[in-house]
Amino acid sequence: MAAYKPVVVQACPKLGERITQDTLYWRGYKTPVQIKEFGAVNKIDFSPVPPYNYAVTASSRIHIYGRYSQEPIKTFSRFRDAAYCATYRDDGRLLAAGSEDGSICLFDVSGKAPLRQFEGHSKPVHLVGFLSDKYRIFSGGDDYSSNLWDIASATEIISYSEHTDYVRCGCASKVNADVFITGSYDHTVKLFDARTKSSVMTIEHGHPVESVLLFPSGGLLVSAGGRYVKVWDVLKGGQLLVSLKNHHKTVTCLCLNSSGQRLLSGSLDRHVKIYSTTSYKVVHSFNYATSILSLALSPEDETIVVGMTNGVLNVKHRKPEEKSENSQKKRQPAYRTYVKGKTYMPKQEDFCVSKPVKRVLRKYDKLLRSFQSSKALDAVLEPPIMLHTPEVTVAVMQELHRRGTLRSALAGRDEKQVDLLLTFVARRVIEPRFTPVLVTVADMITDIYQPVVGQSAIVDKQFLKLQQAIGKEIDYQEELLEVLGMMDTLFATFTKKKDTCLEENKSNGVTEIIETNRNY
Amino acid sequence: RRVFPRCRYLLYASGDFVKVHSVNTEETLRLLCGHADLVTGIQLNPQNHMQLYSSSLDGTIKLWDFMDGILIKTFTVGCKLLALHTLASAEDSVFVVIPKKGERDTFQLVSVKLTKGAGQNLESNELSVVLDDVGASMKHIAFGREGSYVVSVKDVNLQVYFFKRKLLNRFSLSTVKTKGGDNRFSCVVCHPTEDCIATGHADGKIRLWRNFHHRKAYTYSALHWHHDIVMDLAYSIEGTRLLSGGVESVLVQWHNESSCQKDFLPRLGSPIEYISMSSDGVLCCTLHTDNRLSIINSNLRFSRSIQGLIKSRDVKTGLVVDPRTKALVLNGEPGHLQFYSLQSDQQLFSLDIVQRQYIHQAGLKQSDLVKVAFSARGTWLATVEESEELTDPELQLKLWFYHEETQSFTLNTRINTPHDNHITDMCFRDMDELGDDSIILVTAGRDCVFKVWVMVEDSDPEAHQNVSWSCDFVGSYHSYQATNCCFSEDGSLLAVSFEETVTVWDSLTWDLKCTFCHPPGNIRNICFGRLTCSKYLIGATDYGFLCCWNLLTCALEWSAHLNVVVLQPDPLSEHIAAVSWLSKESSLFVFKPSEPRPVYIQRNICKEKILLAAFVPRDEPEMISSEKYLWLRKSQLFFLTDTQELMTLSTKSLEERLTPSSKQLAVEESLPVTPFSLLLGKHRRQQAQEDIDFGKPVVPNKQEQASPAVKELLHTPAHVLPSASFLCTIFINSLLISKENKSTEEVADEVEMESEKAEDDSDEEDVTAMEQEDTSHMELLGEMTCKLSKSQEKELRKIRKMDYSWISAF
- Judge: A5–B265 Cβ closer than 8 Å, yes or no: no
| A297-316 residue pLDDT tens | 988 888 999 999 998 999 99
Higher-pLDDT residue of B650, B450: B450
Residue A508 has pLDDT above 50, yes or no: no
Does A296 share its domain with A384? no
The residue ranking higher by pLDDT, A502 or B304, is B304
Tell me what the mean pLDDT of segment A443-466 comes to. 89
Q: How many domains does chain B have?
A: 2
Considering only A175-179, B515-519, B626-630, B734-738, which range has the smallest mean pLDDT? B734-738
Same domain, A212 and A139: yes
Rounded to the nearest 10°, the torsion over CA B351, B353, B359, B364 is -140
Query: Helix (H, G, I), strand (E, B), or coil: what is residue B690?
Result: coil
Confidence of residue A355 (pLDDT cuts 50, 70, 90): confident
CATH of the domain at B43: 2.130.10.10
Q: Same domain for B105 and B180?
A: no
Cβ of B653 under 8 Å from any chain A Cβ? no
Contact assignment for A4 to B517 by CB distance below 8 Å: no
B364:A515 CB<8 A: no
CB contacts of B471 in chain A (<8 Å) are: 519-520
Dihedral sign of CA atoms B680, B402, B450, B559 in order? negative
Statement: residue B778 has pLDDT above 50 = no
Decide: residue B147, CB within 10 A, 0-12 exposed, 13-18 middle, 19+ buried. Answer: middle
Assess whether pLDDT exceeds 60 at residue B113.
yes
- Are A259 and A399 found together in one domain? no
Q: Which range is least confidently modeled, A87-96, B486-495, B761-770?
A: B761-770
Among the candidates B96, B131, B166, a domain finishes at B131
Q: For residue A186, what is the domain's CATH number? A: 2.130.10.10
More confident residue, B91 or A294: A294
Compare CB distances from A2 to B267, B367, B553 and report the shortest one's residue.
Answer: B267
The answer to whether residue A275 is domain-embedded is yes
Note the pLDDT of residue B277. 84
Contact call for B269 and A1, based on CB within 8 A: yes
Residues in chain B: 810
pLDDT grade for B606, boundaries at 50, 70 and 90: low
Both A381 and A292 in one domain: the answer is no
Residue B132: pLDDT band with limits 50, 70, 90: confident
A415 is a domain residue? yes
From the CA of A16, how many Å to the nearest CA of chain B? Answer: 14
Q: Residue A520: its chain B contacts at CB < 8 A?
A: 471-472
Q: Which residues does chain B have within 8 Å of residue A373's beta carbon, measured at their own beta carbons?
A: none
B120 & B28 share domain: yes
Residue B677 near residue B685 (C-beta atoms within 8 A) = no
Which residues on B lie below 8 Å from A20 (Cβ)? 460, 462
* CB-CB under 8 Å, A510 with B800: yes
- For A8, the closest chain B residue by CA position comes to B356
pLDDT at B437: 61
Q: Count how many Cα atoms sit within 13 Å of the Cα of residue A413 in the half-sphere of its side chain.
A: 25
pLDDT band, very low/low/confident/very high, at A505 (cuts 50, 70, 90): very low
**Residue B605 above 70 pLDDT?**
no
Q: Tell me, yes or no, whether B193 and B172 share the same domain.
A: yes
Specify the pairing of strand B555-561 against strand A228-233.
Answer: unpaired
Domain presence at residue B224: yes
**Quick one: closest CA in A to B509, which residue?**
A518
Q: Is the pLDDT of residue B801 over 60?
A: no
| Domain boundaries, position A144 | 24-317
Q: Is residue B27 located within the same domain as residue B99?
A: yes
B517: contact with A, CB 8 A cutoff: yes
Q: CB distance A512–B807 less than 8 Å?
A: yes
Q: Is A370 on the interface with B (CB under 8 A)?
A: no
Give me the pLDDT at residue B434, please. Answer: 56
- In this prediction, residue B433 has a pLDDT band, given cuts at 50, 70 and 90, of low
Please list every residue in chain B whose beta carbon sits closer than 8 Å to the beta carbon of residue A372: none
Kindly determine whether residue B800 and residue A509, on different chains, have CB atoms separated by under 8 Å: yes
Taking the Cβ of residue A519 and every Cβ of chain B, the question of whether any pair is shorter than 8 Å is answered with: yes
pLDDT, mean over chain A: 85
A18 interfaces chain B, CB cutoff of 8 Å: yes
Annotate B728-762 with three-state secondary structure: HHHHHHHHHCHHHHHHHHHHHHHHHHHHHHHHHHH
Of the listed ranges A109-113, B337-341, B623-627, B648-652, the least confidently predicted one is B648-652
Position with higher pLDDT, A329 vs A37: A37
Last residue of a domain, one of B79, B98, B131: B131
d(CA A464, CA B699): 74
pLDDT at B712 over 70: no
Distance from CA of residue A140 to its chain's centroid? 33
Beta-carbon separation of A515 and B476 below 8 A: yes
Q: What is the pLDDT of residue A328?
A: 55
pLDDT tens string A134-192: 899 999 999 999 999 999 888 899 999 889 999 999 999 988 889 999 999 999 999 99
Question: Any chain A CB within 8 A of the CB of B804?
Answer: yes
Which of A361-375, A458-472, B789-803 is the least confident region?
A: B789-803
Whether the per-residue pLDDT at B7 is higher than 60: the answer is: no
Q: Is B800 on the interface with A (CB under 8 A)?
A: yes
Q: Give the H/E segment covering residue B658.
A: helix B647-658
Is A480 part of a structural domain of the chain? no
If you average pLDDT over each of A458-462, B763-767, B788-792, B803-807, which comes out highest? A458-462
On the question of pLDDT at B355 being above 60, the answer is: yes
How many domains, in total, are found in chain A? 2
- Indicate the pLDDT class of residue B768, thresholds 50, 70 and 90: very low
| Residue that finishes a domain, picked among B259, B292, B307 | B307
Task: Specify whether B117 is located in the same domain as B155.
Answer: no
Residue B208 lies in a domain: yes
User: Are A394 and A468 in a shared domain?
Assistant: yes
Residues B143-195 pLDDT 10s: 888 888 888 888 888 888 888 888 888 888 776 555 556 778 889 998 888 88
* B100 and B144 part of one domain: no
Q: Which amino acid is at A214?
A: L
pLDDT at B739 over 90: no
**Which of chain B's residues have a Cβ under 8 Å away from the Cβ of A516?**
475-476, 510, 512
Asked if residue B197 and residue B77 are part of one domain, the reply reads no
Residue B246 is assigned to a structural domain of this protein: yes
**With an 8 Å Cβ cutoff, are A1 and B294 in contact?**
yes
Q: What is the pLDDT of residues A363-382, one digit of tens each?
A: 999 998 888 889 999 999 88
Assess if residue B627 is contained within a domain: no
B477 within 8 A of B513, measured Cβ to Cβ? no
A191 and A286 fall within a common domain: yes
For B510, left (φ over 0), alpha (ψ -120 to 50), or beta?
left
Does residue A443 belong to the interface with chain B, where contact is any CB pair within 8 Å?
no
Determine the pLDDT at residue B716.
63
* A411-428 residue pLDDT tens: 888 888 899 899 999 988
A contact residues 137-176, partner B, Cβ 8 Å cutoff:
none
Please, what's the b/e burial string for B394-415 (b: 16 or more CB within 10 A of its CB; e: otherwise)?
Answer: bbbbbbbbbeeeeeebeebbbb
Q: Is B462 on the interface with A (CB under 8 A)?
A: yes
Which chain B residues are Cβ-neighbours of A397 within 8 angstroms? none
Digit-coded pLDDT (tens) for A257-271: 888 889 999 999 999
Q: Do B475 and A517 make contact, defined as CB atoms within 8 angstroms?
A: yes
- CB contacts < 8 A (A, B): 93
**Does the structure show a pLDDT above 50 at A332?**
yes
Q: Which residues of B touch A518 (CB under 8 A)?
A: 473-474
Of A8, A10, A517, the CB nearest to B476: A517
**Are B460 and A18 a contacting pair at CB < 8 A?**
yes
Q: How far is CA B138 from the centre of its chain?
A: 23
Does any domain span residue B251?
A: yes
Interface test with A, best of B357, B368, B469 (most A CBs within 10 A): B357
Interatomic CA distance for residues A479 and A485, integer angstroms: 10
Amino acid at B562: L
pLDDT of residue A322: 66
Distance from CA of B509 to the nearest CA of A (A): 11
Q: Inspect the interface and report whether the beta carbons of B265 and A506 lie closer than 8 Å.
A: no
Residue A209 contacts B where some CB pair is shorter than 8 Å: no
Question: For residue B392, what pLDDT is reported?
Answer: 67
Which segment of A109-113, A272-276, B307-311, B402-406 scores lowest on mean pLDDT? B307-311
- Residue B7 belongs to a domain: yes
pLDDT tens digits along B307-320: 766 666 667 777 78
| Residue A28 domain-assigned (yes or no) | yes
Where residue B623 falls among pLDDT bands split at 50, 70, 90?
A: low
- The confidence score (pLDDT) of residue B309 equals 66
Is B361 within 8 Å of A403 when comparing Cβ atoms?
yes
Chain B residues lying within 8 Å of A403, measured CB to CB: 359, 361, 364
Whether B591 has a pLDDT exceeding 50, the answer reads: yes
Residues B124 and B158 in one domain: no
* A365–chain B nearest CA distance, Å: 11
pLDDT of the residue at B177: 56
B117 lies in the same domain as B221:
no
Of B294, B356, B474, the CB nearest to A519: B474
pLDDT in tens, B528-585: 888 788 888 888 888 888 888 888 888 888 888 888 888 888 878 888 888 887 777 7
The residue segments making up the domain with residue B80 are 1-131
Q: pLDDT at position B44, please? A: 83
Interface residue B492 vs chain A (CB under 8 A): no
Specify the DSSP class assigned to residue A319. P
* Window B:129-148, CB contacts with A under 8 Å: none
d(C-alpha B677, C-alpha B665), whole Å:
13
**A190-224 confidence digits (pLDDT tens):** 999 989 888 899 999 999 999 999 998 888 999 99
Q: Do residues B192 and B212 both lie within one domain?
A: yes
Q: Which residues of chain B neighbour A402 with C-beta distances below 8 Å?
A: 356, 359, 364-367, 387
| Minimal-distance CA residue of chain A relative to B389 | A402
Considering only alpha carbons, which residue of chain A is nearest residue B518?
A510
Contact A506 B356 (CB under 8 A): no
- Is B217 found in the same domain as B255? yes
Q: What is the pLDDT of residue B694?
A: 32
Q: In A, which residues are within 8 Å of B302 by CB distance? A: 1
Of B359, B554, B803, the CB nearest to A403: B359
Higher pLDDT, A439 or B303: A439
Q: What is the pLDDT of residue A362?
A: 87
Residue A318 main-chain phi, psi, to 5 deg: -75, 140
* Dist. CA A454–CA B290, nearest whole Å: 53
Strand ranges (E), B632-763: 635-642
A510 touching B (Cβ < 8 Å):
yes
pLDDT of amino acid A185 = 93
Question: Which of A63-77, A463-477, B95-109, B247-261 has the highest average model confidence (pLDDT)?
Answer: A463-477
Q: Does residue B84 lie within any of the structural domains? A: yes
Instruction: Name the percent of chain B lying above pLDDT 90.
Output: 2
Residues of B in contact with A404 (CB under 8 A): 361, 363-364
Angstroms from A448 CA to nearest CA on chain B:
21
Query: Which of B84-98, B135-149, B500-514, B687-701 has the weakest average pLDDT?
Result: B687-701
Residues B123 and B144 in one domain: no
pLDDT of amino acid A167: 92
Judge whether B11 lies within some domain: yes
Chain A residue numbers touching B303 (CB-CB < 8 A): none
In Å, how far are B442, B485, B502 from B477, measured between CA atoms?
15, 13, 10
Is the domain of A414 the same as that of A308? no
Burial of B213 (0-12, 13-18, 19+ CB in 10 A): middle
3 state SS of A23: helix
